[in-house]
Structure 1
Amino acid sequence: MYVQPQEHPILSEFCTELTGITQKQVDEGVPLNICLSQFLKWIQMIQKEKKIIFSTDSQSNSSDAKVCAFVTWTDWDLGVCLHYECKRKQLRKPDILNSWIDLKATYRAFYNRKPKGLNGALQDLGIAFEGREHSGLDDSRNTARLAWRLICDGCVLKITKSLDKNLLLFMDSLGTSEE
């Protein structure tokens, strides 16, 4: 889903060249508040179907539920961009977007190497980047491929960042939060 920019509705040439997103795509998009609302409804449907919960979920502690988390490449999208955009626009951001696994930090710690971007991390492991860099969908698919490789290589993925102070205190008590 594309978010329709409300304040600067005309995309720059740089943005289009970098991401491949067209003016038509954002014109047909939805405002951020609607996107977040639709995203939350979709996630809730997936949670029921797949019996998954997020570490921030308080509603369901079913023993058959699998705990999951969002995986990102860096903290930028959830920790900076979305966080401050919602704050600035006084939008309620779903709590499930307040903690995540930063795969760049995880990659760096697990392999003891400093990656040169998502594409560089994939290349380091002999995996070809598929699609267009900086396309949200292609980047997310490649991030998932990298996460799977880390898991196959024995890495246990853990929350690396949380904007929820209570969750951070709980993770500290378990010895699982970022140092």
Structure 2
Amino acid sequence: MFGLRLAFGRIVSLHGWRLDLVSCHSRLHVYHKALLQVHIDKCCKMYVNQPHRSYQPVMPLYNQNYDFFLVLDFEATCEEGRQIIPQEIIEFPVIKVNARTMKREGLFHRYVQPTRPPSAFCTRLTGIMEEMLINQPPFRAVLMDFENWLIREGLIDKKIIFVTCGNWDLQVMLPDQCSQIHYPVPAVMKSWINIKKIFFTATGIFPRNLMHMLEILGLPHIGRLHSGIDDCLNTCMILEELARRGVVFHRTNNYTSPV
């Protein structure tokens, strides 16, 4: 994954940001949201949305069933070749997408401290090192922070829906994690769009994974596979491309608590 290095208050390069998170944690914590937004804009070859200007209007405007899409992709602890119990979320990224313009207008991104450190396999797969998680809040605090972010972004009274690549994030991982901490699954996170199902309806091809969809749509892959924030970025590109081709998105899944 591309990253950002900070020195003397400005961006100086785009290399190895995870190492910088370890060595420059306090500074990057202050600038975390701003740096990730720059990362999104750089990766997608967009102009940075500076405070004194706004993006130019995008044409055409899309007629969708929602006001905003919330593109989500968790990363969790894992082991090679076997399921671990409990599995714990260690990266919680969400990108807010305006359903009318398909522009990215907001970002929530947190790392989460698990009760047990990630395995060497997990670090190789996701790029998330134990040192990156040591000073991060536990899942309960991050989930509560996310619920507050929804309020700050003015999304509570809007028509919103989550977008995921598959059903694992909201059908399996979030309910399991909430069960571990005896915290109710937020109502807003009990329905979502599985973009793989929408892709199948639109193209007649059921995609194997994220990379397969990008390949079929002729889109480049951005960043690192299995980085949560990068997977969100790539899902955003698929979402936008399908909308450009005339797809109108609808809910594909609902979560029902097991009896």
TM-score by length of structure 1 reads: 0.78
The answer to whether the aligner puts 1:44 opposite 2:136 as a matched pair is no
The answer to whether the aligner puts 1:127 opposite 2:219 as a matched pair is yes
The residue number in structure 2 matching 1:84 is 176
Among candidates 162, 179, 185, match of residue 93 of structure 1:
185
Q: What is the 5 A alignment of 1:1-179?
A: 1-6=110-115, 8=116, 10-46=117-153, 48=154, 52-53=155-156, 60=157, 65=158, 67-163=159-255
Letter in 1 for 2:114: P
Q: Does the CA-based 8 Å contact 1:101-1:160 persist in structure 2?
A: yes
Distance of 1:87 and 1:95 partners within structure 2? 14
Q: Does the CA-based 8 Å contact 1:36-1:93 persist in structure 2?
A: no
Q: How far off is 1:28 after superposition?
A: 2.1
Distance of 1:105 and 1:28 partners within structure 2? 38
Distance of 1:29 and 1:92 partners within structure 2? 22
Distance of 1:154 and 1:133 partners within structure 2? 27
After superposition, the CA RMSD in angstroms is 1.5
- Larger relative strand fraction: 2
Classify the secondary structure of the residue corresponding to 1:71: strand
Distance of 2:133 and 2:186 partners within structure 1? 22
Classify the secondary structure of the residue corresponding to 2:242: helix
Q: Does the CA-based 8 Å contact 2:140-2:181 persist in structure 1?
A: no
Q: Share of identical aligned residues, percent?
A: 33
Distance of 1:114 and 1:93 partners within structure 2? 29
Distance of 1:108 and 1:116 partners within structure 2? 10
Letter in 2 for 1:37: M
Query: Unaligned 5+ residue runs, structure 1?
Result: 54-59, 166-179
Distance of 2:180 and 2:142 partners within structure 1? 16
Aligned length: 148
- Larger relative helix fraction: 1
Q: How far off is 1:43 after superposition?
A: 1.2
Any runs of at least 4 consecutive aligned residues in structure 1 with deviations exceeding 6 A, and if so which? none
CA shift digits 1:62-109 (9 cap, x unpaired) = xxx5x2211000010111011122123211222111111000111112
Classify the secondary structure of the residue corresponding to 1:37: helix
Distance of 1:94 and 1:120 partners within structure 2? 31
Q: Does the CA-based 8 Å contact 1:4-1:26 persist in structure 2?
A: yes
